Each structure stands twice: as C-alpha cells, then as structure tokens.
Amino acid sequence: MEARTPRPGSPVRGSSSGRPVMAALDLLGRRWTLRILWELSQAPAGFRELQRRCERMSSSVLSTRLGELTGARVLTLRGDAYHLTRLGEDLVEALSPLNAWSRRWAEEMDTGPAGDGES
C-alpha cells in the first residue's frame, strides 16, 4: 500500500476522524519529516544538499518525504531548491514552544534522579 500525504478531512494513521490535528500529527510523525523541516528552516536546499544535511537518509525516503511535504503545501520547489512555504514557516514557528520545552526537559534529565519536580 502506497503512503499518501495526510489531509484534513480524510482518515489518517491512528484516526478515522480526519480531524486536522490528527492529519498534522500523522504527517509530522513520519520518519525524517521534522529533520527536513528543521534543515529547510535554516536555509533552502536542493535534493542532494538536503540529503547531505540529513545524514544517512536514503534518496527514496527523502524523495517520498519531499513529495508528502510538497503535497501538504508545507514545502515548494523553486528553481532547484526546496523552500518552506508560508504555511511551512508557520508550522516551524508553531513547533518553537515544543523545542523550548525539549531543552528544559534535557536540562532536567541532566540534573539527577527523577522526582515530581516539587520541593
């Protein structure tokens, strides 16, 4: 079965409801998707440059993910480079609080034994 680009209003992995948030989580949960978004948020890149930046990603997986992200209107190909669309830029911005939380989490995990966080 060929993977399709998740779309709001259509059943997706983990949900038959088609709710937009479930479609977005399906798209973002695919292997390498977040890394591709991160790399393109730093600077546009062509296929080979993006593959180099993403270490060890096979060309077939990269091609599939780029197709999905382009189909989801998060990326666009202009000339010979992939760019985030305005929707893609908004997505990266929306992920910013998760990035901040993950840094706090990493610091907390480095501080010692697990606890409830209360003194």
User: Each residue's pLDDT tens digit in the chain (119 positions)?
Assistant: 346 888 888 878 878 888 888 889 999 999 999 999 999 999 999 999 999 999 989 999 999 999 999 999 999 999 999 999 999 999 999 999 999 999 999 999 998 777 665 54
Which two three-digit tokens encode residue 92?
A: 């990266």
Residue type for 2, please? E
What is the reported pTM?
A: 0.83
Q: Report residue 5: phi and psi, to 5°.
A: -70, 125
**Cα–Cα dist 45/61, whole Å:** 16
Strands of the chain (E only): list them.
75-78, 81-84
**Cα–Cα dist 18/21, whole Å:** 8
Yes or no: say if 66 and 36 are a contact pair by the CB < 8 Å rule: yes
